[in-house]
Amino acid sequence: MKGNKTNSKKNKMQEIYDKIVNNVQTIVDRGEYKKFLKFRKNFRGYSFGNLVLIFSQFPEATQVAGKSKWTKKMKREVIQGAKPIYILAPIPQKYTKKVKKIVDGEEVETEESYNYNWYRWVYVYDISQTTGEDIPLETKPINGDNMLELYKKLENISQVPIVEETMYGSIKGYYSPVGKKIALKKGLSINEKTSVLLHEMAHSLYDDFDYKKDRNLSEVFVESIAFCVADYFGLDTSICSFNYITQWAKGDPKIVIKLGNKIQKCANQFIEKIEKCELPRMELAA
């Protein structure tokens, strides 16, 4: 009986995983990866898998919660007949196993516990599917269209020096792990410098790929992070090459899921670093 129950859970998990893979493939096939990255800024607390599920069912969603939370905490009621959005909720589990160890030269049997999660389907609703008290939707622009403050903050948190160099052609910047520096093309506007700097800092802070072997993965990874962070702070950037990402992603959507969690985690960490950076007034006025 226990074996059947375990197999049933494994089958359920495989079904959930397959659903996420298929939804990622659909997002890529429809050319909606850029829209998906913009969408995820409203859901920083959600896993990549749940972001895919929410986006696939309700791409215009901006804030979701369970019916009970809407009613009790937000003082809003779910509209009758509203279609639920299904996501996954973790169920903590503990597994105890008997193991043999050598203690003081003698073999003894002890028990070790392992924690893991199973998942179940739960449903949530978007704010647009509710009525009641107003809830302010938080935005994070820095100085509106003026990205000088964001650029200065990036300079402050960079782990390597940032220099400007004469560059030719379409090259606007690069990160040199050997030279331990980020170089930006001379003559760029503040907004363009900020866009390029976000990309190169993503390389310097989070890119652990072997660039010679996995250049495609590396570029998709850092461009996705750069776009997420730029969009969060209200910077309209074209640093991401979405056609390139789409062509790569069609090869194996399962890799997108692996990379997706990493993009989500690193983009959130990058945003937090920027938000925690406080600039002296004199530096902003310079």
Reported as a single tens digit per residue, the pLDDT across 187-244 is 988 888 998 999 999 999 999 998 888 887 888 888 888 888 888 888 876 544 555 5
Q: Give the domain range for residue 161.
A: 148-285
Q: Is residue 110 part of a domain?
A: no
- Are 167 and 64 members of one domain? no
- Are 281 and 160 members of one domain? yes
- Are 166 and 128 members of one domain? no
| pLDDT for res 243 | 53
- Are 125 and 168 members of one domain? no
How would residue 139 be classed by pLDDT, with cut points 50, 70 and 90? Answer: very low
pLDDT at 84 over 50: yes
- Are 252 and 172 members of one domain? yes
Whole-prediction pTM value? 0.69
- Are 254 and 220 members of one domain? yes
- Decide if 107 contacts 118 (C-beta within 8 A): no
| pLDDT for res 10 | 61
